[in-house]
Chain A
């Protein structure tokens, strides 16, 4: 097949028209559907897309699957809340603080695990253990409020990082999610991202090509941790309450992993697709039956189905449709 010799790298991660289009849809969404239910749906979908993207960066792009990613979320949530409630700092300071907290935890866990050469399933399990350790610590020390958790007093007003109208939170999480998408696109087009892909595919070969695998993996854990930490800060401000189970419990780890794997790990929009689906299933299940756990049963089943039949995630469906369209056009044009 003759290949155009333009030799320019392809627009990996999607065409800018796609990004702008999706952004426009997201911006307009709460204006078209202003009911509290829909805005909340939007916030949750974007929130899961955001933290899902953080998992995706480490797990999908760099191949470092973790089962305990909540550890970064909780670190960020507690960091920003403690700063606010125990030290009186402005809640907006929580955003950079939570990013730093997440990055530091990423550095520590990454350093220990990678120096010990942990990969694959062992790495996944040790992250689970780290999350559990932090959960127990958060449950036992005073500064975190122990098992009772921390309640953020409701004081509406943008200065307090609390919006009277939910829509404020919506646009904030939209901005954060757009930022995470931008980072994912950057990864697709950068040297760093190419090296991460190499590491994901074959560490030894990557090393033999001059890539400092250890350092690059550390960097990605810190990046992923920072993003996830910010998610923790946002969550705390949105729900005004965190406790050790919410902050370090297994549920968020599972959800982050699910939205990425089901949507499409290693792709830019995979987590968003997975998150929209998760939020939709969750809200629908709650409205229809009010039975706790139903949505996750469906979601768990979806995970198994995806791994079995569509291991690249739902986003594969889109690319297959795209390929069919292109080959049709090719046949007609020939």
Chain B
């Protein structure tokens, strides 16, 4: 589905992303993790066309999309959410989602109905008339998700969609993402919340100082000394034991 080869992004003298390569197979859920400042959001921005790359290639479904304008990449099926949510504040939840729905449903009635279905998928069916500005953080994250879903994407880039959520909200979003994947959408996500990463992803890439330092199945990556070293001092090694859901809740409440 997605191939990134040798992507490099330089800001001034700093290599924010350094020769990064990754692959996301169709229908998979892949995670991109790494310490703060590793360059994960920059990498996303480059993949989705928000930033021009200095070197490297991005291929979506075999087609080279490097350097294409953002909206064209979105129309080809790759959509991203933002780390800091970007709702259309003065519009209602329904109108927000409809903007996405309009991409594939030019008719107003169809777009509206589709938006409602998507809203129900993410559990926002009861909030359709609320102005987006009134939503809580969790609500905004869901809205962001719903909006991108409404386009009918093939590949979803989720940027820290769990940030700022409490444990029960995290569990809900995890379920929603699993349902999304079950619906045929491929997912690449940036996450810090390890329980979500472990329970969702089938493959993990680890980014540190702009370089991919490890990749593999969750268990392998978690035990990789290079990865632990990258996170040194954050105590994340203890969090990385794959949890059962009961353990996860206990750990989160500790």
| Closest residue of B by beta carbon distance from A198 | B99
Q: Are A9 and B112 in contact (CB under 8 A)?
A: yes
Q: How far is the CB of B89 from chain A (nearest CB, A)?
A: 6
Q: 1/0 contact trace for A185-221 toward B, CB 8 Å?
A: 0000111001101100110111111111100000000
Residue A8 CB within 8 A of the other chain: yes
Q: A195-B99, A209-B74 are in contact. Are A202 and B109 (CB under 8 A)?
A: no
Contacts of A204 in B (CB 8 A): 50, 82, 86
Whether B126 lies near A209 (C-beta < 8 A) is: no
Residues of A within 8 A of B209 (CB): none
Give the distance in Å from the alpha carbon of A194 to the alpha carbon of B115 in the complex. 13
A292 interfacial by beta-carbon distance below 8 Å? no
Q: Are B113 and A201 in touch, CB under 8 angstroms?
A: no
Chain A residue contacts of B148, Cβ below 8 A:
208-209
Are B109 and A208 neighbours in the complex by a CB distance under 8 Å?
no
B108, CB-defined interface residue at 8 Å = yes
| CB nearest neighbor in B for A213 | B71
Contact partners of B116 in chain A: CB under 8 A: 7
Chain A min CB distance to B77 (Å)? 10
**In this assembly, does B128 line the interface, its C-beta being within 8 Å of a C-beta of chain A?**
yes
For residue A3, CB closer than 8 A to chain B, the reply is yes
A65 to chain B, nearest CB (A): 15
Distance A189 CA – B129 CA, assembled complex (angstroms): 16
Query: How far is A209 from B74 in the complex, measured between Cα atoms in Å?
Result: 6
**How far apart are the CA atoms of A213 and B79 in the complex, in Å?**
16
B231 within 8 A of A: no
- Contact residue among A1, A3, A8, A211 (Cβ-Cβ distance under 8 Å from B71): A211
**Residue of chain A at shortest CB distance from B112:** A9
For A209, list chain B residues within 8 Å (CB): 71, 74, 79, 99-100, 103, 147-148, 151
Q: Which A residues lie within 8 Å of B128 (CB)?
A: 3
Q: How far is the CA of A327 from the CA of B151 in the complex (A)?
A: 35
| Complex CA–CA separation, A210 to B103 (angstroms) | 7
Interface contact A194-B71, CB-CB below 8 Å: no
Rounded to whole angstroms, the CA-CA distance of A190 and B106 in the bound complex is 9
Name the distance in Å between A11's Cβ and chain B's nearest Cβ: 11
The number of chain A residues with a CB under 8 A from chain B is 24
How many Cβ-Cβ contacts under 8 Å join chain A to chain B?
88
Interface check B98, CB cutoff 8 A: yes
Can you name the residue of chain A whose Cβ is closest to the Cβ of B126?
Answer: A3
Whether A208 lies near B99 (C-beta < 8 A) is no
B91 at the A interface (CB under 8 A): yes
B interface residues, tally (CB under 8 Å): 36
Residue B80, interface by CB 8 Å? yes
Q: Given that A9-B108, A9-B109, A194-B102 are known contacts, is A205 also in contact with B82, CB under 8 Å in the complex?
A: yes
Interchain nearest-CB distance for A266 vs B (Å): 8
Q: Is B48 an interface residue (CB 8 A)?
A: yes
Q: Which one of B72, B89, B102 has the greatest number of beta carbons of chain A within 10 Å?
A: B102
Residue B111 CB within 8 A of the other chain: yes
The answer to whether residues A210 and B74 also contact, given A195-B102, A202-B86, A205-B88 and a CB cut-off of 8 A, is yes
Chain B: minimal CB distance from A28 (Å): 33
Q: B20-63 toward A: CB 8 Å interface, digit per residue (1/0)?
A: 00000000000000000000000000001010000000000000
A198 and B88 in contact, given A3-B126, A210-B71 (Cβ under 8 angstroms) = yes
Q: Does B138 contact A (CB under 8 A)?
A: no
A9 to B116, CA, bound (A): 10
Minimum distance in angstroms from B160 CB to a CB of chain A: 15
B70 interface contact, C-beta 8 A:
yes
B75 to chain A, nearest CB (A): 5
Question: How does the 8 Å CB contact mask read for B120-156 relative to A, with 1 for contact and 0 for none?
Answer: 0000001011000000000000000001100100000
The listed residue with most A CB atoms (<10 A of its CB), out of B87, B88, B95, B103, is: B88
Minimum distance in angstroms from B125 CB to a CB of chain A: 8
Contact B71 A190 (CB under 8 A): no
Q: Does B219 contact A (CB under 8 A)?
A: no
Q: Do the beta carbons of B112 and A201 come within 8 Å of each other?
A: no
Across the interface, which residues of A come within 8 angstroms of B179, CB to CB? none
Give the chain A neighbours of B50 by CB distance below 8 A: 204, 208
Mask of A144-179 contacts with B, CB within 8 angstroms, 1/0: 000000000000000000000000000000000000
One of A195, A197, A201, A208 near B70 (C-beta < 8 A): A208
B234 at the interface (CB under 8 A from A): no
A residues near B79, Cβ cutoff 8 Å: 208-210
Q: What are 15 inter-chain pairs, A to B, with CB distance below 8 A? A: A3-B128, A7-B116, A9-B109, A189-B108, A194-B111, A195-B102, A197-B90, A198-B99, A207-B71, A208-B74, A209-B79, A209-B148, A209-B151, A210-B151, A212-B71
Interface residues of A, Cβ cutoff 8 Å to B: 1, 3, 7-9, 189-191, 194-195, 197-198, 201-202, 204-213
Known: A191-B102, A197-B91, A210-B74. 19 other contacts (CB 8 A): A3-B128, A8-B112, A189-B108, A190-B108, A194-B95, A195-B102, A198-B88, A204-B50, A204-B82, A205-B88, A205-B147, A207-B70, A208-B48, A208-B74, A208-B82, A208-B86, A209-B148, A210-B79, A210-B103
